[in-house]
A and B are shown apart, each in its own frame.
Chain A
Amino acid sequence: MTLLELFERLEASAVGSAIRDSLWLFPVIEAVHLLGLALLGGAVLVVDLRLLGAGLTGRPLAYVAAQLEPWLLGAVAVMVTTGVPLFLSEAVKCYHSDAFRLKMVALALALAFTFGVRNRVAKARPALTPWRARAVGTCSLALWLTVAAAGRWIGFS
């Protein structure tokens, strides 16, 4: 089965069809997806700002990262549980969308970087040197902004 055939099957799935057949489902799920984005923004940015030497500078980086981690996980959970049904409802369109492909690559990188690198080094001892911290914060910001911008652009394609 080719990838396109797989996407066609996914689009024909019960969830995908139900969303397409409903006037309200897609917009409502999309709005919740956007709310998840706002929360994700807070959870990602407050830690990235701290890495960049701004925001909650009076608190240790490890503390800020640990405080925001549950909210980050919650936001990612909201984004995925709303994003997957949105994708199922228009999988073939997504297959042909460069914005969708960019978003998926950036998303994989953002998740791997955030949980594999950023959150680990944020809790590391001794603490990161300021320049390394800035580099980590910049990478995280760039990756998540790409995910968000490419996500919006799926709707324009």
Chain B
Amino acid sequence: MSLLGFCEWLASTEWSTALHESLYAYPLVETTHVLSLLLFVGTLSVVDLRLLGWVLRDVPVSEVTARLLPWTFTGLAISLVTGSLLFFAIPVRTYQSLFFRIKVVMLLVAALNAALFHRVTSRGAPAWDRDPTPPLRARAAGAVSLVAWVTVIAMGRMIAYNWFDCDRQPQPDLVNWAAGCILP
């Protein structure tokens, strides 16, 4: 089954329609998704700002990550659960949303960046752990993370707008290709 076929099947389930059409459940899930951002990206941005050497400069990087990242992951878990529910409620349109697709790409960029950073730091506290301003590659990791999450949040908000939806034609070929629109 293609991904689009899978999304069409999801949309045909009773639970998907029920969540989409619910008076309170959908707004509540969406509000929780937005609130989880405070915990998730909020704590993560403090970690990134420490990597850039812009805050908590006297605190070792390993202490900041050890104390704050558990909260980041708690927020991430809430974001993922509520985000999946939001996708489940409106699967086909979301799958073919240009903004959603850019968001997913930036999520992958953020995940890759975090995995690379973890590979460096997982072998114990790095030599620059106590440096008020970490070396360039650590600052770069913080900057890439911030840019990626800024894009994820902005694109996430834009999913609500239908400017590039497949049922609004004509669109430039590039838009239709990137959004995966199937034209008759």
Residues of A within 8 A of B (CB): 23, 27, 30-31, 34-35, 37-46, 49, 54-59, 64, 67-68, 71, 144-145, 148-149, 152-153, 156
Contact = CB atoms under 8 A, between A and B. Distances in A.
Contacts of B63: 56, 58
Contacts of B153: 31, 34-35, 38
Contacts of B157: 27, 30-31, 34
Contacts of A144: 38
A26 B34 CA distance: 18
Contacts of B39: 41, 45
B35 interface: yes
Given A41-B43, A55-B43, 14 more contacts: A31-B157, A35-B153, A37-B34, A37-B37, A37-B38, A40-B38, A42-B42, A42-B44, A43-B46, A44-B42, A46-B43, A55-B71, A56-B59, A57-B67
A42 B46 contact: yes
Contacts of A49: 71
B27 A56 contact: no
B67 A55 contact: yes
28 contacts: A27-B157, A27-B158, A31-B157, A34-B34, A37-B34, A37-B37, A37-B38, A38-B37, A38-B45, A40-B42, A41-B37, A41-B41, A41-B43, A42-B41, A42-B42, A44-B38, A45-B42, A45-B71, A46-B42, A55-B67, A56-B56, A57-B67, A67-B55, A67-B56, A71-B49, A152-B34, A153-B27, A153-B31
A55 B30 contact: no
A23 B67 CA distance: 43
A64 B34 CA distance: 25
A152 B34 CA distance: 8
B68 interface: yes
Nearest to B47: A42
B64 A152 contact: no
Nearest to A56: B67
Contacts of A43: 42, 46
Nearest to A49: B71
B6 interface: no
Contacts of A39: 42, 45
Contacts of A71: 46, 49, 55
A60 to B, nearest CB: 11
Nearest to A50: B67
Nearest to A58: B63
A62 to B, nearest CB: 13
Contacts of A31: 153-154, 157-158
B170 to A, nearest CB: 17
A78 to B, nearest CB: 12
